[in-house]
Amino acid sequence: MAWTKYQLFLAGLMLVTGSINTLSAKWADNFMAEGCGGSKEHSFQHPFLQAVGMFLGEFSCLAAFYLLRCRAAGQSDSSVDPQQPFNPLLFLPPALCDMTGTSLMYVALNMTSASSFQMLRGAVIIFTGLFSVAFLGRRLVMSQWLGILATIAGLVVVGLADLLSKHDNQHKLSEVITGDLLIIMAQIIVAIQMVLEEKFVYKHNVHPLRAVGTEGLFGFVILSLLLVPMYYIPAGSFSGNPRGTLEDALDAFCQVGRQPLIAMALLGNISSIAFFNFAGISVTKELSATTRMVLDSLRTVVIWALSLALGWEAFHALQILGFLILLMGTALYNGLHRPLLGRLSRGRPPAEESEQERLLGGTRTPINDTS
């Protein structure tokens, strides 16, 4: 069936804003500017402040939800105004996971390339699959186990490409290895978030935009408060600011004041995450969750191509192999092979309900599918 103009718009919006989200964060990391008190020029390395901005973008999804609810006023649209009451505190544990995982990923993005960052996030399939078996009593089919094995192989190839690539002064080999490991660690936390959302949140039939916005609210408030103790906690060589603390928000604002383009990059990151979440949710509703997965894979290609074109990283052929293996693993785990096999065998097309599988058993994505 041909896509409508609105569906094409949603698909394009998801692809563009998703790519902008990662690229704008990396763009901010690449800037050099003076800090407060006449400190010498240094890189903009403020991952926790960037995470606060991302949660602000998610928080704005609440505004989108209430606008949709006002528009649907007087209409019988149960998807906008859920019938079941729920306690907003249900979102606190997933929000804490989201906050931790996102902060780790922003730290890792300072240490590795944007393309490796995007590819290694595919590790979430491994942990969601294992956790779904352990904590939700799921039984994975053979194709999903094969998808997990393929994903592990793809991660090894991508990691090997990072090891063999040439490293400049900005990304030393030790930093790249640490960054890659932090990304994988973050996916464990993201998988826990998905389990919590599946077990405690989805049964309340909460609208996805409301869920994203509520988690964004919790993450924004908690992480903003944590910036205060982070200003005093020493971090040694792990720190990227002149004071050597875990985070120095004042230094970040001074750098933004001296280099306005950093503010543009941060605004791009904040706004893109809001539109990306909205577009992703709409694509799942208007098209299918499989289409959302394919668009997310295309986003990796766009990020990789632009990073190469901008000179942010060097080309390595192993990354192509690693990406293709990761793509195969994702397709197997999410059941993308089923319609293809159905066409090849000229059999009956798969039922529509295959697109509505639950979160960890198939094509569903977490409530908050960030950057």
The per-residue pLDDT for range 89-107, each reduced to its tens digit, is: 888 999 999 999 999 999 9
Percent of the chain whose pLDDT exceeds 70: 85
Q: Would you place residue 360 in the very low, low, confident or very high pLDDT band (cuts 50, 70, 90)? A: very low
Whether residue 114 is predicted with pLDDT greater than 50 in this model: the reply is: yes
Is residue 112 in a domain?
yes
Return the pLDDT at 340.
64
Whether residue 253 is predicted with pLDDT greater than 70 in this model: the reply is: yes
Whether residue 189 is predicted with pLDDT greater than 90 in this model: the reply is: yes
Domain count, the chain: 1
Percent of the chain whose pLDDT exceeds 90: 44
Whether residue 367 is predicted with pLDDT greater than 50 in this model: the reply is: no
Mean pLDDT within 331-338: 80
Tell me which range, 239-248, 258-267, 346-355, is most confidently predicted by mean pLDDT. Answer: 258-267
Return the pLDDT at 279.
86
* Structural domain for 115, as ranges: 47-69+88-338
Tokens at 147, concatenated? 């998808």
Give the least confident one: 1-10, 118-127, 323-332.
Answer: 1-10
Give the least confident one: 65-79, 101-115, 178-192, 212-226.
Answer: 65-79
Return the pLDDT at 73.
72
Sequence-distant (6+) residues with CB within 8 A of 345 are: none
Degrees, nearest 5: CA angle 274-13-27: 65
Q: Which of 193, 17, 10 is nearest to 90 (CA)?
A: 193
Return the pLDDT at 2.
67
Mean pLDDT within 307-315: 87
Mean pLDDT within 160-173: 74
Return the pLDDT at 289.
66
The letter for the amino acid at 56 is L
Is residue 4 in a domain?
no
Return the pLDDT at 79.
55
**Does residue 198 or residue 319 have the better pLDDT?**
319
Mean pLDDT within 187-191: 93
Give the least confident one: 44-58, 127-141, 341-355.
Answer: 341-355
Is residue 152 in a domain?
yes
Is residue 188 in a domain?
yes
Return the pLDDT at 355.
40
Backbone angles phi, psi at 134, to 5 degrees: -75, -40
Q: How many residues would you count in the chain?
A: 371
How far apart, in Å, are the Cα atoms of 285 and each of 18, 282, 290, 370? 18, 5, 11, 18
Q: Would you place residue 369 in the very low, low, confident or very high pLDDT band (cuts 50, 70, 90)? A: low
**Does residue 259 or residue 172 have the better pLDDT?**
259
Positive or negative: CA dihedral 208, 269, 88, 365:
positive
Is residue 211 in a domain?
yes
Q: Would you place residue 204 in the very low, low, confident or very high pLDDT band (cuts 50, 70, 90)? A: confident
Is residue 311 in a domain?
yes
How far apart, in Å, are the Cα atoms of 12 and each of 16, 120, 128, 234? 6, 23, 28, 43
**Dist. CA 122–CA 118, nearest whole Å:** 8
Is residue 327 in a domain?
yes
Mean pLDDT within 193-207: 79
Q: Would you place residue 168 in the very low, low, confident or very high pLDDT band (cuts 50, 70, 90)? A: low
Is residue 31 in a domain?
no
Give the least confident one: 87-101, 210-224, 319-333, 352-366.
Answer: 352-366
Whether residue 109 is predicted with pLDDT greater than 80 in this model: the reply is: yes
What residues form DSSP beta bridges with 234?
245
Mean pLDDT of the chain: 84
